[in-house]
Amino acid sequence: MRIILMGPPGAGKGTQAKVVAARLEIPAISTGDIFRANVSEGTPLGLEAKRYMDAGDYVPDEVTNGMVRDRIAESDARNGFLLDGYPRTVAQVAELDSMLESSGHAIDAAVVLTVDEDELVQRLLTRAKIEGRADDTEDVIRKRQNVYNEQTAPLLEVYAGRGLLVEVDGMGEVAEVTDRVFAELDRVRGEAAS
Binding residues: 10-15, 31, 36, 57-59, 85-88, 92, 127, 133, 144, 172
E strands in 59-158: 81-84, 109-114
| CB 177 to ligand B4P: min, Å | 5
3-state helix, strand, coil in the chain (%, to 5): 65, 10, 25
| CB 194 to ligand B4P: min, Å | 31
Instruction: Return the amino acid letter for 47.
Output: L
Among 2, 9, 20, 109, binds ligand B4P (CB under 6 A): 9
Q: According to the binding rule CB under 6 A, does residue 110 interact with ligand B4P? A: no
Among 11, 96, 165, 168, binds ligand B4P (CB under 6 A): 11
| CB 190 to ligand B4P: min, Å | 26
Q: According to the binding rule CB under 6 A, does residue 182 interact with ligand B4P? A: no
User: 154 or 192, CB closer to ligand B4P?
Assistant: 154
Give how far Cα 68 sits from Cα of 5, 100, 103, 153, 166, Å: 14, 12, 14, 20, 22
Q: Is residue 159 within a helix (H) or strand (E), and if so which, with residue range?
A: helix 154-161
The catalytic site residues sit at: 13, 88, 127, 133, 144
Q: Is residue 167 within a helix (H) or strand (E), and if so which, with residue range?
A: strand 165-169
3-state secondary structure of 172: coil
Residues in the annotated binding site for AMP: 31, 36, 57-59, 85-88, 92, 133, 144
Per-residue binding string, ligand B4P, 41-60, x by CB under 6 A, is: -----------xx----xx-
Q: What is the 3-state secondary structure (H, E, C) of 4-67?
A: EEECCCCCCHHHHHHHHHHHHCCCEEEHHHHHHHHHHHCCHHHHHHHHHHHHCCCCCHHHHHHH
Q: According to the binding rule CB under 6 A, does residue 64 interact with ligand B4P? A: yes
Identify which of 44, 20, 70 has the alpha carbon closest to the alpha carbon of residue 185: 20
Site residues for ligand B4P per CB under 6 A: 7, 9-15, 31-32, 35, 52-53, 58-59, 64, 85-86, 88, 92, 123, 127, 135, 144, 172-174, 177
